[in-house]
Amino acid sequence: MRKLIYLILLGFLVSTSFAQSKLSKLHSNQNLDCTACHECETPTKTNPCLAKCPRENAGVATSYSFGNTKNVFDINNILGEKDLYGPVKFYHKAHGEMSEMSGGCTTCHHYNPPGEIVKCAFCHEVDRNTSDINMPDLKSAYHRQCMNCHAEWEEESKCENCHTLNVEYKTSTSANEIVKMHKPVTRPTTQVYLTTEYEKGKVATFHHNDHINLFGIQCNDCHQNETCQSCHNQKPDFQKSVDGSNHSRCESCHDTENKKLCAKCQSDKATKAFNHFVNTGFDLNKYHSANTCQNCHKKKGKYSGLKTECQSCHDWNEENFKHTITGIQLSEDHLDLECSDCHEDDEGKFSYKKATCTNCHEEEEGFVVPQKLPGKRVK
């Protein structure tokens, strides 16, 4: 009996040794570096400590216009005889636009020949019977690509978060649409921060809507090198990390080194949203209010230093200027006058802001602007 036990044990050791030598031979033929797949020195079956897929020879990073791609498409490359789950509805454009805040297209399309972006199936085959363990099959590539990101921010990672059940597997209690969409991210209108460094004003007000709607700032102009969890995190114990540098997101547009400018952002109380007249002294009347900031402020991120004279933006002269643009239609006896007959010099510079009647009329007779006008007001 003892001999039989020894024989069985010997057979087990020989078979194990053969299997290991076969596996070792396979690895040695491929000339693999263990650290390319495993993060620990001694991986085991229960704890393989697999590293993220190596992405060598990533090619050239390619920029792409998301206006040229489909907004939504189904991932249905892999179909079996009895699939429990249906295809994944993938919101490509939304993912692509968000990727601009981190690694761009190469976040997912990590191998790109020069000048093009290729699909996952370009490298990863549907067939799971592969001897190259360094190249996951297509199904594994999809799951490893998606799940690594989703696990960071989802409250619970489940198949139903991305897949619907096929019809034959749905029960009477199954929902028609099981897939859990991303929770909508509510963009803040205004955020108020309390600071400690600037003694004259510890309240900094950030008007998020102004920066997006008025100034044309894109998300990735301020949010860079961020992950999905920064905005989408659903974990109950999640605490968003605070940017210790404070000014890092602002300094691309604002001078954060000049301490004399601190008062522009910091005060003793929350400030109101941007008002062009209050903030600049230049009133946007009905003719300017329809413009975007970029129509006048051509240099991106720079909104100061413009002259207020009309000629700074308009190529007007006495021949082509229509006075009705000011809201006043000149009467016939004023049509042939020179601009300087009614508009005064402002400290040596000609200004259209000041108008006077005294060059032709006596002030005592009531010819005073705006009580007396050289025509009629028009809408």
User: How far is CA 106 from each of CA 100, 109, 138, rounded to the nearest angstrom?
Assistant: 10, 5, 17
Local confidence band at 81 (pLDDT 50, 70, 90 cut-offs): low
H or E segment at 8? helix 2-30
Q: How far apart are CA 113 and CA 58, in angstroms?
A: 8
Average pLDDT over residues 255-284: 87
* pLDDT at position 270: 92
Q: How far apart are CA 70 and CA 95, in angstroms?
A: 12
Number of helices and strands in the chain (H, E): 9, 10
Which DSSP state fits 115?
A: T
Local confidence band at 18 (pLDDT 50, 70, 90 cut-offs): very low
Local confidence band at 16 (pLDDT 50, 70, 90 cut-offs): very low
On whether the CB atoms of residues 351 and 343 are closer than 8 A, the answer is: yes
pLDDT for 373 beyond 60? yes
Local confidence band at 207 (pLDDT 50, 70, 90 cut-offs): very high
**Percent of the chain's residues with pLDDT above 70:** 74
Backbone angles phi, psi at 349, to 5 degrees: -115, 135
Whole-prediction pTM value? 0.59
Q: What is the per-residue DSSP string for 251-311?
A: TTTS--S-GGGGGGTEESSPPPPP-HHHHHS----TTTTTS-HHHH--STT-------SGG
Lowest mean pLDDT among 3-7, 114-118, 270-274, 321-325: 3-7
Residues sharing a CB contact under 8 Å with residue 234, sequence separation 6 or more, in sequence order: 153, 154, 155, 183
Selected residue with higher pLDDT from 244 and 32: 32
- Average model confidence (pLDDT) across the chain: 76
On whether the CB atoms of residues 109 and 117 are closer than 8 A, the answer is: yes
Residues sharing a CB contact under 8 Å with residue 48, sequence separation 6 or more, in sequence order: 38
Selected residue with higher pLDDT from 259 and 208: 208
Which domains are seen in the chain, by residue range? Answer: 66-169 (3.90.10.10), 191-238+249-296 (no CATH), 310-377 (no CATH)
pLDDT for 184 beyond 80? no
